[in-house]
Amino acid sequence: MKKILELDTNLFISIGFISMCIGVIWMSYAEEKNIIQLGLIVLGGLLSISGTIIGFIQNRKIIKEGKDQ
């Protein structure tokens, strides 16, 4: 758990956003919709959401440490 909280949240959010954009652009220009396109969108969303959750936890941890000192 500690290793996960030490990760950079900007990577999760940016990779998730890029993945979602690729999936949406691919889906808009393709004539046939398939599960890979939807998977890219869902994967990107999950990465972005997990990055924001980790960021909130890191931020709360920093605030708690600041109040303790």
The reported pLDDT for the residue numbered 46 is 95
The reported pLDDT for the residue numbered 4 is 72
pLDDT tens, 28-52?
888 888 899 999 999 999 999 999 9
Length of the chain: 69
Average pLDDT, the chain: 87
| Residues 15, 56, 7: CA angle, nearest 5 degrees | 50
Q: Where are the domains of the chain?
A: 2-64
pTM over 0.85: no
Helices (H) and strands (E) in the chain, counts: 3, 0
Residue 18, pLDDT above cutoff 80: yes
State the number of CA atoms in the 13 A half-sphere of 50 facing the CB: 14
